[in-house]
């Protein structure tokens, strides 16, 4: 029992810290809203209390008590002799002000919720935007998508329920004070039931909901991962006919999620039923109490009893709302924690340079570069040295796993090298501002990223200030203009998710056009034709040959047919440069390059 209480206290403190994290920058707004809620609750209480004199004077009773005298002092200030008429007009005036305050309160509350949610979502995207490449390598894509889309929605629900809970507590407190004024004996009965409700019913249910909600969140994240992997690998899954395996994995996650969702939803239904049951039982009990006190003559007490019942009928829904809001906050707290942990995660970042670099002039140099991925014991690259001079074409070839694409990753500073130096025009690339340095490069990879938009939008890829003429010119350089015109709507053709309406060769030529639109000083081609058939490869190779005439080019290739015209070819094997020279020179040596050429061109 003591352990359970300790866990409850610990959980409450954790929840309080999480909520403070999201609201700490909005303290003044929260105080202002709390003040408006207080006055709104006060006016609503007065609104309900104003029913008492209407019932009293409507039944023409000659009641004299402290509650009625207080209200009469307010009502008699109106310029009417008829107390019943004055009571009705007083109620109308209070209702107008109460309604205005309530609308203003909701306006401020919703505006604050909007600000908090907006800032949460922008902060998450900024976190992803500024994260280094290593962050994406180390984390599952499905879980990152969940943390960036679904979890913020859960956090927004938490924000909503916290503000609603604050309003419910303030309003319920006002109604409670009013009930005490009307009948402290009746309020005592309500309080006993309320304490039982909070300590037993709600406490038990909240613990169940907390546990189940954590399982729901975890299983929802797991469903995201499984579904994302299934969609990404659908071709291989269909070919290997193992759809049933993936269905079983997904169904298991769904079963866990549905069962725990059921428990969470039941945790919300039971308190609501309890509150409705309690209201009618209390109302009947108070009626019996008044009847016994007055030997069955309760006419004189009907106005007070009716007012008490009306206030109680408004109080119980707020009590229920307090309980439901606490349960809802518990339900969405796991999502809120995911958002908090993501925003507070100390993601390791590469040291940012400060030097502006705008124009490639002389050479790009790798000097004794060694590198290994995190967690590996052996270097993937070992003392690699080479240079790429302006206007030249350099090719890097080698067997799979030799480190070819790793060189490109290091050049783009997706990772930092362990030893050695990478420089451009004498500047260590670590000292350069990433944006200005990378603006010199165009890149075409093996797997082209095409998003669901028009062909023109995919070529522009977010580049501002370029005209339709610039896009067409880049497409012509990439040998893509003709096939684009043959599509349904030309440059405005929607290409579908991942460019599914385009062939592999067409996607690659769009990628080349995208690179050339930026007028790069250095064009990087990383296995740009390795996944294409011979016809597509020929079309892409023609585009590569055309654009290489206008820019410095670095080609990473597995197919040696794409590098034969390079000014220099580097042969990489097990992380070392074992040969370098022109195509003809390397063939004459009949060493590693000759073996690669013989195998790939056979």
Task: Return the closest-CA partner of residue 52 out of 35, 74, 67.
Answer: 67
Helix (H) or strand (E) holding 152: helix 141-182
What's the length of the chain? Answer: 602
Q: Which of 188-202, 503-517, 577-591 has the highest mean pLDDT?
A: 577-591
Instruction: Check residue 233 and give its pLDDT.
Output: 67
pLDDT of residue 6 exceeding 60 = no
Q: Are strands 419-424 and 427-428 parallel, antiparallel or unpaired?
A: antiparallel
> What residues contact 214, with CB distance under 8 A and at least 6 apart?
334
Residues 155 and 22 sit within 8 Å (Cβ to Cβ): yes
pLDDT of residue 98 exceeding 70 = yes
CA distance 258 to 184: 46
pLDDT per residue as tens digits for the range 472-502:
888 888 888 888 898 888 889 888 777 778 8
pLDDT of residue 367 exceeding 90 = yes
CA distance 395 to 415: 21
More confident residue, 396 or 286: 396
Q: Provide the 8-state DSSP code for 355.
A: B
pLDDT of residue 456 exceeding 70 = yes
Q: What is the dihedral of CA 101, 102, 106, 107, to 10 degrees?
A: -30
More confident residue, 103 or 209: 103
- Across residues 25-37, what is the average pLDDT? 88
Instruction: Check residue 560 and give its pLDDT.
Output: 78
Residues 304 and 64 sit within 8 Å (Cβ to Cβ): no
b/e code 523-542 from CB counts within 10 Å (16+ = b): bbbbbbbbbbeeebbebbbe
For Cα atoms 371, 375, 378, give the angle at the middle one, nearest 5 degrees. Answer: 45
pLDDT of residue 534 exceeding 60 = no
CA distance 553 to 545: 10
Q: List residues bridging with 381 in a β-sheet.
A: 371
Model confidence at 115, in pLDDT bands (50, 70, 90)? confident
CA distance 62 to 119: 59
Residues 246 and 226 sit within 8 Å (Cβ to Cβ): yes
- The mean predicted confidence, pLDDT, of the chain is 79
**For residue 443, which phi and psi values (nearest 5 degrees)?**
-135, 135
**For residue 342, which phi and psi values (nearest 5 degrees)?**
-65, -45
pLDDT of residue 561 exceeding 90 = no
Domains present along the chain, CATH in parentheses: 17-344 (1.20.1560.10), 363-600 (3.40.50.300)
Instruction: Check residue 346 and give its pLDDT.
Output: 79
21: helix, strand or coil: helix
CA distance 65 to 63: 7
Q: List residues bridging with 396 in a β-sheet.
A: 556, 570
Q: Is 377 exposed, middle or buried (0-12, 13-18, 19+ CB in 10 A)?
A: exposed
CA distance 319 to 567: 80
Q: Got the DSSP string for 469-508?
A: HHHHHHHHHTT-HHHHHHSTTGGG-B--GGGTTS-HHHHH
Model confidence at 226, in pLDDT bands (50, 70, 90)? confident
pLDDT of residue 15 exceeding 80 = no
Instruction: Check residue 568 and give its pLDDT.
Output: 92
Q: Using alpha carbons, list the distances in angstroms from residue 291 to 68, 285, 286, 287.
A: 21, 10, 9, 6
398: helix, strand or coil: coil
More confident residue, 384 or 143: 384
pLDDT per residue as tens digits for the range 118-149:
888 888 888 888 788 888 877 777 778 888 88
CA 508 to chain centre: 31
pLDDT of residue 582 exceeding 80 = yes
pLDDT of residue 274 exceeding 90 = no
Residues 306 and 209 sit within 8 Å (Cβ to Cβ): no
More confident residue, 461 or 165: 165
Placement of tokens 């809120």 in the chain: 336
Q: What is the CA radius of gyration of the chain?
A: 36
Instruction: Check residue 65 and give its pLDDT.
Output: 64
Would you state the structure tokens that stand for residue 350, as one six-digit string?
């590469």
For Cα atoms 189, 193, 199, give the angle at the middle one, nearest 5 degrees. Answer: 145
Instruction: Check residue 421 and give its pLDDT.
Output: 92
Of 66-70, 71-75, 92-96, minimum mean pLDDT range = 66-70
**For residue 488, which phi and psi values (nearest 5 degrees)?**
-55, -50
Placement of tokens 């994290």 in the chain: 21
More confident residue, 291 or 141: 141
pLDDT of residue 1 exceeding 50 = no
Q: Using alpha carbons, list the distances in angstroms from residue 420 to 318, 385, 412, 428, 552.
A: 68, 9, 16, 10, 23
pLDDT per residue as tens digits for the range 144-192:
888 888 888 888 888 888 888 999 889 888 888 888 887 777 667 666 7
């Amino acid at each position: 029992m003591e352990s359970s209480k300790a866990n409850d206290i610990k959980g409450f403190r954790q929840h309080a810290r999480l909520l403070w994290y999201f609201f700490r920058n909005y303290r003044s707004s929260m105080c202002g809203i709390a003040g408006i809620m207080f006055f709104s609750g006060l006016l609503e209480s007065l609104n309900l209390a104003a029913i008492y004199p209407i019932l009293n004077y409507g039944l023409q009773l000659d009641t004299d008590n402290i509650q009625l005298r207080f209200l009469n002092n307010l009502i008699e200030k109106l310029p009417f002799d008829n107390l019943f008429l004055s009571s009705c007009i007083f109620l109308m005036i209070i209702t107008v002000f109460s309604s205005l305050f309530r609308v203003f309160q909701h306006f401020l509350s919703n505006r604050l919720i909007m600000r908090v949610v907006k800032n949460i979502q922008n902060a998450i995207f900024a976190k992803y935007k500024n994260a280094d490449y290593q962050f994406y390598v180390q984390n599952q894509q499905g879980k990152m998508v969940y943390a960036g889309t679904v979890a913020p929605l859960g956090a927004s629900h938490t924000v909503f329920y916290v503000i609603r809970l604050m309003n419910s507590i303030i309003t319920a407190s006002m109604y409670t004070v009013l009930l005490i004024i009307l009948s402290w004996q009746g309020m005592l009965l309500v309080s006993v039931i309320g304490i039982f409700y909070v300590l037993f019913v709600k406490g038990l249910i909240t613990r169940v909901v907390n546990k189940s909600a954590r399982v729901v969140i975890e299983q929802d994240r797991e469903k995201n991962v499984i579904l994302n992997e299934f969609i990404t690998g659908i071709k291989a899954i269909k070919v290997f006919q193992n759809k049933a395996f993936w269905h079983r994995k997904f169904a298991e996650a769904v079963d866990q999620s549905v069962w725990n969702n059921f428990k969470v939803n039941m945790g919300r239904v039971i308190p609501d039923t309890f509150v409705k049951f309690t209201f009618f039982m209390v109302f009947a009990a108070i009626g019996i109490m008044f009847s016994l006190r007055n030997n069955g003559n309760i006419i004189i007490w009907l106005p007070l009893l009716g007012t008490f019942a009306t206030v109680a009928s408004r109080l119980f829904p707020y009590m229920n709302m307090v309980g439901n809001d606490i349960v809802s906050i518990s339900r969405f707290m796991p999502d809120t924690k995911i958002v908090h942990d993501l925003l507070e995660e100390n993601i390791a970042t590469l040291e940012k340079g400060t030097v502006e670099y705008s124009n490639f002039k002389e050479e790009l140099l790798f000097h004794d570069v060694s590198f290994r991925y995190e967690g590996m014991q052996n270097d993937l690259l070992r003392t690699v040295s080479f240079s790429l001079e302006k206007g030249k074409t350099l090719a890097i070839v080698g067997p799979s796993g030799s480190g070819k694409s790793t060189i490109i990753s290091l050049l783009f500073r997706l990772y930092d090298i362990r030893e050695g130096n990478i420089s451009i025009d004498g500047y260590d690339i670590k000292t350069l501002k990433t944006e200005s340095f990378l603006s010199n490069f165009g890149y075409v990879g093996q797997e082209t990223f095409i998003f669901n938009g028009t062909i023109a939008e995919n070529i522009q890829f977010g580049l501002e200030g370029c005209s339709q003429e610039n896009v067409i010119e880049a497409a012509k350089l990439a040998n893509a203009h003709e096939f684009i015109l043959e599509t349904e709507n030309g440059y405005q053709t929607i290409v579908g998710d991942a460019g599914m309406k385009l062939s592999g060769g067409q996607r690659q030529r769009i990628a080349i056009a995208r690179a050339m639109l930026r007028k790069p000083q250095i064009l990087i081609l990383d296995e740009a034709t390795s996944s294409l058939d011979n016809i597509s490869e020929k079309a892409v190779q023609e585009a590569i040959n055309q654009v290489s005439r206008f820019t410095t080019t670095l080609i990473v290739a597995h197919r040696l047919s794409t590098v034969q015209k390079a000014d220099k070819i580097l042969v990489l094997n097990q992380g070392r440069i074992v040969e370098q020279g022109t195509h003809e020179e390397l063939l004459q040596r009949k060493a590693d390059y000759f073996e690669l050429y013989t195998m790939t061109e056979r």
